[in-house]
Homo-oligomer: A and B are copies of this chain.
């Protein structure tokens, strides 16, 4: 399939449609981004890569970083991680506290804020310099030493992220956070502030389409079983309470962030990243969802 023409075609079609979405407003720094940005980049197993629009501009990847934190923690503690966080879709929005109360501080999955906070706690307990070692890990799997946190974004969240402070302290009250909440949150907000372009994202995540092995070096990031499980988790839990809709319409494992980015994986084929800052009511990029739906429909390639 000639992905290039297809991507170009859908990009042109969607570029100027009216976008009813809104940029994330609860992180002040994010609301300053130009809402008309729109970029796509695909990286494939057979090395035919292609980008269009703002595919080379960096943006705040936000919750997409939760996948990276999970991968590092999975490498370090193995299946022990599933004692601290579940693998079930939650049926609720990304920052809900209700289920945490019923489940006594065990988040339903690692892609809810609560789950990523627990994963952050695990990383802090297991790393000497969590912030440095985490970004080193991300740089190593992407083969890109230029990746950075955004201190502006992190600071913006630290000043206004009351809901996340509530989540972390709530979990701590059940004894399910080992470190001081302020330390865990500090790491968590840094994590979410990572900045990448669509090109960098699709290159970085390509190993999940390659059974866990980095394409260029053939280095194993995760073993095959672990890699499939991360994909399964992205399939069932990657889009908050729109995960079913994404599986239904797009049919690929993926993860979105409130910065407007989405990464999606087609096992054995490709990783594709889309960015458009305006979000639909569920908190996922409006144009990004539209693009991927049309892309898998017209390419007739979904995992189903």
Task: State the oligomeric state as a number of copies.
Answer: 4
Most buried by B among A97, A99, A167: A97
Q: Closest CB of chain B to A227's CB: distance in Å?
A: 8
Contacting pair B245 A88 (CB below 8 A): yes
Closest B residue, CB atoms, query A165: B169
Closest B residue, CB atoms, query A95: B173
Contacting pair B303 A170 (CB below 8 A): no
Contacting pair A162 B172 (CB below 8 A): yes
Alpha-carbon separation in the docked complex, A88 to B89 (Å)? 9
Restricting to A274-304, which residues have a CB under 8 Å from any CB of B? 297, 300, 302-304
CB-CB under 8 A from A247, the residues of chain B are 87, 232-233, 235-236
Q: Closest CB of chain B to A207's CB: distance in Å?
A: 13
Restricting to A190-243, which residues have a CB under 8 Å from any CB of B? 224-225, 227-229, 231-233, 235-237, 241-243
Q: Is A261 an interface residue (CB 8 A)?
A: no
Residue in B165, B244, B249 whose CB lies within 8 Å of A88: B244
Contacting pair B89 A303 (CB below 8 A): no
Contacting pair B248 A229 (CB below 8 A): yes
Contacting pair B101 A97 (CB below 8 A): yes
Q: Is A163 an interface residue (CB 8 A)?
A: yes
Evaluate whether A302 and B228 lie within 8 angstroms (CB atoms) in the complex, with A237-B244, A244-B109 already known: yes
Alpha-carbon separation in the docked complex, A287 to B240 (Å)? 31
Evaluate whether A297 and B236 lie within 8 angstroms (CB atoms) in the complex, with A97-B97, A97-B101 already known: no
Residue in B98, B244, B249, B303 whose CB lies within 8 Å of A267: B303
Interface string of A166-186 (1 = CB under 8 A from B): 111110110000000100000
Interface string of A106-123 (1 = CB under 8 A from B): 001100000000000000
Q: Closest CB of chain B to A121's CB: distance in Å?
A: 13
Q: Is A259 an interface residue (CB 8 A)?
A: no
Alpha-carbon separation in the docked complex, A300 to B267 (Å)? 13
CB-CB under 8 A from A231, the residues of chain B are 304
Alpha-carbon separation in the docked complex, A282 to B101 (Å)? 17
Residue in B96, B228, B302 whose CB lies within 8 Å of A304: B228
Closest B residue, CB atoms, query A168: B166
Residue in B101, B224, B232, B249 whose CB lies within 8 Å of A300: B224
Alpha-carbon separation in the docked complex, A211 to B165 (Å)? 43
CB-CB under 8 A from A166, the residues of chain B are 97, 165-170, 172-173
A-B contact pairs, 6 of them (CB 8 A): A97-B98, A97-B101, A166-B167, A231-B304, A232-B304, A233-B247
